[in-house]
Amino acid sequence: MLGYAEHDLEGLPFEQLLAVPSRIFYQTHVFPLLKMQHRIEEVYLTASTKFGEVVPVLVNGTRMETPEGVVNECLLVPIRRRNDFEDQILAAKRQAEEAHEAKDQLNQALHEAQRELTRQNEELKVLKGSLESQVLAQTAALRKMVQDLQGFNYSIAHDLRTPLRAILSTSAILLAEAGEALTPAHRRLLERQQHNATKLANLVQDLLDFSRLGLQEVVFARVDMSGLAHEAARSVLAEHSGTKARVIVEEGLEASGDRSMLYVVLQNLFDNAIKYSPEGGTVTFGADGDGFYVKDEGIGLAPEFAEQIFRPFERLHRDEDYAGTGIGLANVKRIVERHGGRVWVESEVGKGATFRFTLA
């Protein structure tokens, strides 16, 4: 089976038939076993054929010590197929172990990824929660601050009114009752004082309105805008007794909003329009696709000032040219915005102005 002729084998030590690794195993394991126990059973070794091919063999052997000498009788059974099967089984076992291990590793990786994801989600949730509560807390703090400021403004304006009235009434009494006794220069001084005190009183009133608008609740109801516009126009025209301007109101307009606040809006817009209208100019109140508008034929304004005029105390003209406190349009903006709407102006210098506003 190993390709040796009988005479090749004669006198050849058994070990010589084995492949190199098997020679080591023979010397370290098989020979000592034979020597000590006189027999070996089913030991797996590899033999080498005459042509150098390696053949797996099972070795059974007995050792006989005869008077002529020691004979180790070894029977070699080639186990090519058995060996192949074993190799296959071992390979399959290893493969299975590797697959199992790979599966375990995959599962573990998946598990870890899932855990990481859950952890990140939770972190995110916590972050979101803390962010939300931070935003809520800051909003509440801001709202509180704004309310405090508005309350502060209101009480200052309110408290300023009483001494102002006293100043106004004393100057009026002085002018009426002691006017003749004063020198003309002193009288002019007193008149100037009365004029300035009146101005200050107007300013304080406007400030008070402005503050009140921030604090006051918006009460929504159906409002007859055309009726309200007539009312406001009448009142404004009465204040500007010298004006030749006229107001045209489009009929049948309605809106949802706070009636008293919308009155202030129309009053201020008419006041503004009439103030800047030329002699005999027309002021029109109406509505179109862009919402309500108050249109005049006055001096108009450059587009770069379109934003500025809605800010408190921002005036484009000197008091001597056009009287005013600089609060009116700021009030308009505040009311419109509290209704959820928007106010803006369309104008060019010398070509009149159209103030437009929407209500949500």
- Provide CB contacts within 8 A for 44, sequence distance 6+: 56, 57, 58, 59, 79
* Per-position DSSP letters for 310-347, written without gaps between them: GSTT--SS-TTTS---S-HHHHHHHHHHHTT--EEEEE
CA distance 271 to 106: 79
Least spacing, CB of residue 101 vs other proteins, in Å: 18
Decide: is 17 part of the binding site for other proteins (CB under 8 A).
no
Torsion of CA 11, 17, 22, 28, to 10 degrees: -10
Length of the chain in residues, anyone?
Answer: 360
Decide: is 42 part of the binding site for other proteins (CB under 8 A).
yes
Query: Of residues 5, 36, 176, 238, which one binds other proteins by CB under 8 A?
Result: 36
Least spacing, CB of residue 62 vs other proteins, in Å: 13
Beta bridge partners of 249: 285
Query: Of residues 3, 8, 9, 35, which one binds other proteins by CB under 8 A?
Result: 35
Other CB atoms within 10 A of residue 40 CB: 21
Decide: is 21 part of the binding site for other proteins (CB under 8 A).
yes
Decide: is 41 part of the binding site for other proteins (CB under 8 A).
yes
Decide: is 23 part of the binding site for other proteins (CB under 8 A).
yes
User: x/- binding map, residues 86-125, to other proteins, per CB under 8 A?
Assistant: x--xx-----------------------------------
Query: Of residues 9, 12, 15, 152, which one binds other proteins by CB under 8 A?
Result: 15
Decide: is 27 part of the binding site for other proteins (CB under 8 A).
yes
Q: Which stretch binds other proteins (CB under 8 A): 4-12, 38-46, 227-235, 298-306?
A: 38-46
For the segment 50-79, give every residue that binds other proteins (CB under 8 A).
Answer: none
Query: Of residues 20, 176, 221, 238, which one binds other proteins by CB under 8 A?
Result: 20
Least spacing, CB of residue 60 vs other proteins, in Å: 10
- Provide CB contacts within 8 A for 114, sequence distance 6+: none
Other CB atoms within 10 A of residue 78 CB: 15
Closer Cβ to other proteins, 67 or 350, answer by number: 67
**CA 140 to mean position of chain CA atoms:** 18
Torsion of CA 98, 104, 106, 111, to 10 degrees: -170
For the segment 121-180, give every residue that binds other proteins (CB under 8 A).
Answer: none
**Which two structure tokens, joined as six digits, stand for 216?**
């006051």
Decide: is 49 part of the binding site for other proteins (CB under 8 A).
no
Least spacing, CB of residue 41 vs other proteins, in Å: 6
Decide: is 280 part of the binding site for other proteins (CB under 8 A).
no
Closer Cβ to other proteins, 25 or 220, answer by number: 25
* Per-position DSSP letters for 162-196, written without gaps between them: HHHHHHHHHHHHHHHHHGGGS-HHHHHHHHHHHHH
Closer Cβ to other proteins, 94 or 351, answer by number: 94
Residues that bind other proteins (CB under 8 A): 13, 15, 19-25, 27-29, 31-33, 35-37, 41-46, 86, 89-90
